[in-house]
Amino acid sequence: MRTIDFTPLYRSAVGFDRLARQLESAARTSEAAGWPPYNIETTAENAYRVEIAVAGFKPEELNIEVKENLLTVTGRKTANDDTAPQKTYLHRGLAERDFERRFQLADYVVVTDANLDNGLLAISLKRELPEALKPRRIEIGTAPKTEGKTPLIQGEAAAA
């Protein structure tokens, strides 16, 4: 397991500390367990979908929260509660464990909806730029014409 030191970035770049923290966070999470598996897909120019395999989870056992550009999906199996009757397994290959999966969102990316279908939790995201940040076309005007006056020509100004 190799760690990356972002300290030089902190020393030489001003205002990029948030980016460095995101890179450090990504490096830590990539080393974490890969469960549950997920896909991130581009569905349009400014639209995305995150699909997480949550087979066996009911909608009430899942929670989706967005706070400060961090999308957090958690799953808590009610079958794991101490009040549930104990089962005896001959083989246990299905993971019924709690999880927390985090995704760092870019600025102005919002969750538009979430659906659970056939064991896949699909979370739709969209980048919604505020009007002030969207490109806009500026019309180019012309200088108003002066009526009755003829513009001075460089030679005429010297003669006058």
DSSP helix/strand/coil, 13: coil
Between the ranges 5-14, 62-71, 80-89, 131-140, where is the mean pLDDT highest?
62-71
Confidence band, pLDDT 50/70/90 cuts, at residue 129: confident
Tens digits of residue pLDDT in 33-45 = 678 999 999 999 9
**What's the topology of domain 35-131?**
Immunoglobulin-like (2.60.40)
- Phi and psi dihedrals of 130, rounded to 5? -65, 155
Question: What's the Rg (C-alpha) of the chain?
Answer: 29
- Whole-number pLDDT of residue 31: 46
What is the maximal distance between C-alpha atoms in the chain?
110
Domain boundaries, the chain: 1-32, 35-131
- Whole-number pLDDT of residue 67: 93
Q: Which residue has the higher pLDDT, 69 or 10?
A: 69
Q: What is the mean pLDDT of the chain?
A: 80
Residue 101 amino acid letter: R
- Phi and psi dihedrals of 70, rounded to 5? -120, 115
